[in-house]
Structure 1
Amino acid sequence: MSIGNSPSDDRPSVGRALAQARIAAGLSIDEVSTSTRVRVPILQAIEQDDFSRCGGDVYARGHIRTIARAVGLDPEPLVERYVAEHAGEIAPAPVTPLYEAERIRSEPRRPNWTAAMIAAIVAVVGFVGYTAFSGGDDGGTSAKATPTATTTPPPSQSPQGNGVPKPPSPSNSAIAAAPPGKVTVKASAAGGTSWIQATDGNGKQLYQNSLKKGESMTWTDDKKIKLVVGNAGAVQLFVNGKDIGLAGDKGQVAHLTYTPGDPSQG
Structure 2
Amino acid sequence: MSIGNSPEDERPFRDESQEARSSVGRALQQARIAAGLTVDDVSRATRVRIAIVHAIEADDFAPCGGDVYARGHIRTLARAVHLDPEPLIARYDAEHGGRPAPTPAAPLFEAERIRPERRGPNWTAAMVAAIVVVIGFVGFTAFKGGDDGDATAQAADGATPTAGKPAVSATPKKEKPAEPTAEPSDSAIAAAPQDKVTVQVSAVGGRSWISAKDHNGRMLFDGLLKQGQSKTFQDNSKINLILGDAGAIELYVNGKKIEDTFKPGSVERLTYTKGDPVAG
Pair member with larger Rg: 2
- Shorter chain as denominator, the TM-score bin is 0.3 to 0.5
The structure showing larger relative contact order (alpha-carbon pairs under 8 Å, at least 6 residues apart) is: 1
Q: TM-score, normalised by structure 2?
A: 0.33
Q: TM-score, normalised by structure 1?
A: 0.35
